[in-house]
Amino acid sequence: MNYQACVCNLCGTGCGQFLKTDGKRVLGVAPIVSHPVSKGKLCVRGWHANELLNTNERITTPLIRENGRLREASLDEALSLVVRRLGECNGAADEIGLLASARSSNEDGFALRRLAREVFKTHLLGVGAEAGHRNSMDSLSHAFGYPGAVGDLTRIDKADYILIVGTDIARQNPIIGGNLHAAQRRGARLVSLSSSRTQMAKLSTKHFQQQPGTKALVLNALAKALHALRTVNHARHADIDRLAGYTQYVNALRTISSVALEKASGIRYEEIEEEAQILDAARSVVILFPSGISGLDKRTIEAICNLAVLTDRMDDAQSALIPVAGISNLQGSFDMGLSGESGHSVFGSLADPDSPLRALFVVDHDDGIIRNRERIAALELVVYCGAFRNPFMDLADVVFPLTAYNESDGTYTCADRRVQLTRKNTDTPGAGLPGWRLYQAIAEQAGHTWGWRDAAEVFLAIADTIPSYHDLTHHRLAKGFGIHWDITAFAAAGQMKFHEVQIDYPKSPTCEEFPFALMVGKGRHFWHQNNLMRKTLIPRREYDQTLLLYPQGYVEICPDDAQKLKVKDKWLVHLTSSTGTSMKIAVKVSPDVQPGTAYIPYFIKNMISDFLIRYDNAFAAGEESIIPVRIEEK
């Protein structure tokens, strides 16, 4: 019995954990005290990873659907069937789509992309949790010259000024949230910008609670006030006014009206000017924002990047700009090229009933929510690869078992570009294979020879192919707590420039008939729609306790709106959207939401399928999504 070090496979923080294992089962978990980010801490999810890894809901053998039911099959039979059936499709004509997992290792992701391009001949790719992350990568590439975080998460520890835009990091990335709280307690100024009064907002030195949909406007107003100070402050590091896009950006900022700003966002410009003075005096600045499924819209991310450049602090040793991912290897999945290309989106093909898509190859679909379910069910072939049983198996024609994250060697790239290595420490139950080995077997069945003998050799291929990983090996990564990939591999790295901006004053889509702006939450209860978290008993306790109080879910409204509606906490109400969809749901009276707004954390499955799932823009816009609704006493 011993403790084996590995990387937590849940959120994008990349915490270090010890797994207590006898080689066959994981019997306990402990934090790694010396890890530079998690520092001997784990959240409730990481502490109970052993419950997930010991679940009896593992996929242990290949399965093939016959006469409507899945039956056990040999690996050779399943491989032969998949290669034959996919060979009947034209990948180059977008008839084959691949949906990758942001929890897969870099080795698995790299092999999957090679399978797609070399064997299936398809460019139709996507990552299950990628909504929003493409915006983050594109915006960072434009502003800083490379698609990844500027600086790293350890810079929170010494920064003077920390700005958090959007997400409730205290809920979604609790260890980062704890580090932020520690920074605030040592004297750093912690500022948050969000539509709701989140847990992170309550821990902040200053919270700007803007109206939904106006984050970009408030950030641009802060930039305007900062620029006004910078024009008289000549103690700066870079010639900001010589950067590409500067003139258009500054001219746009000058058009911001303080009156229109306050009317749209609810925040006075004088308040923003006071904040700009504090930001201007800060020696080091860290900015964090959510990326991925809980991400922000493109315009808001561009405003964040512009503000970061304008601070003239991003080249400081303690400054950073980090897109905080909610899934462990979302950054690595993009680095491996799994997000697809412009015009070749697997999500777009699934949403389009007239697309040529005929077959879908899916890896570890992590969420219990399946979008485009009817379209997937109608495809000629659906292949599912995963370690754990989940609802996606109901749609699969062929199922392949995979290893869990601790059952094979693999690397994972967390939110700040830190690449870390996990070594195999427990045997795999049944016939599960590492992803890269399965995809190599499929390729060999199709007549292609790759010749990889282990994960280390796959990573050598990664280093030869992905420029930013060129100097990394398993041997180097095994010596510590990871290495950040090399930004200098990108020719434009360090060549900062501004995004073009257009100033507008968003108006609420609400009206007299639908007076509430409904915000779709992806915070704490999102984790309980997560297929992996459903298999860990202790973390589910919070979810189950919430269900005792609100068995049909809840919609949060402020006390004043509850009084106007003549409803009380836990009373059922009828919620109707502007498109006619409706549901019955309990009220949760909370001072954390603003008058005229409502908030739903989507943790009840049928709430998604019956109501929210119809609003694709709510997923695309992330935290900036707004659905006009009417709330009536039942």
The CATH number of the domain where 559 resides is what?
2.40.40.20
- Report residue 542: phi and psi, to 5°: -60, -45
Does one domain contain both 528 and 620?
yes
CATH of the domain at 279: 3.40.228.10
Strands 16-21 and 26-31: antiparallel
Low-confidence ranges of the chain (pLDDT < 50): 523-528, 609
**Which range marks the domain in which residue 47 is found?**
2-53
Q: Is residue 440 part of a domain?
A: yes
Does one domain contain both 138 and 281?
yes
**Neighbour count for residue 484 (Cβ, 10 Å):** 17
Q: Is residue 114 part of a domain?
A: yes
Of the residues 269, 290, 325, the one at which a domain ends: 325
Of the residues 278, 302, 325, the one at which a domain ends: 325
Does one domain contain both 155 and 205?
yes
CA distance 46 to 38: 11
Q: Is residue 504 part of a domain?
A: no
Q: Is residue 507 part of a domain?
A: no
CATH of the domain at 372: 3.40.50.740
Does one domain contain both 157 and 261?
yes
pLDDT tens digit string along 24-79?
Answer: 999 999 999 999 999 999 998 899 899 889 988 999 999 999 999 999 999 999 99
Does one domain contain both 149 and 244?
yes
Asked if 599 contacts 198 with a C-beta cutoff of 8 angstroms, the reply is: no
Does one domain contain both 402 and 434?
yes
Residue 473 to residues 356, 420, 479, 488, 572, Cα–Cα distance (Å): 40, 10, 11, 18, 57
Does one domain contain both 360 and 422?
yes
CA 342-384-326 angle, 5° bins: 60
Residue 168 confidence (pLDDT): 82
Residue 564 confidence (pLDDT): 94
Residue 1 confidence (pLDDT): 61
Does one domain contain both 167 and 311?
yes
pLDDT tens digit string along 322-331?
Answer: 999 988 999 9
- Report residue 600: phi and psi, to 5°: -125, 120
Of the residues 261, 290, 325, the one at which a domain ends: 325
**Long-range contacts of the stretch 116-121 (C-beta < 8 A, 24+):** 116/91, 116/361, 118/443, 118/448, 119/442, 119/443, 119/446, 119/448, 120/86, 120/91, 120/96, 120/361, 121/90, 121/91, 121/92, 121/96
Does one domain contain both 98 and 231?
no
Does one domain contain both 320 and 340?
no
Does one domain contain both 181 and 221?
yes
Which of these, 526, 566, 532, 571, lies nearest to 550 by C-alpha position? 571
Does one domain contain both 343 and 403?
yes
Residue 235 confidence (pLDDT): 59
Q: Is residue 281 part of a domain?
A: yes
CA distance 386 to 271: 51
Q: Is residue 359 part of a domain?
A: yes
Q: Is residue 497 part of a domain?
A: no
Q: How many domains does the chain have?
A: 4
Asked if 594 contacts 209 with a C-beta cutoff of 8 angstroms, the reply is: yes
CATH of the domain at 24: 3.30.200.210
Q: Is residue 182 part of a domain?
A: yes
Asked if 176 contacts 204 with a C-beta cutoff of 8 angstroms, the reply is: no
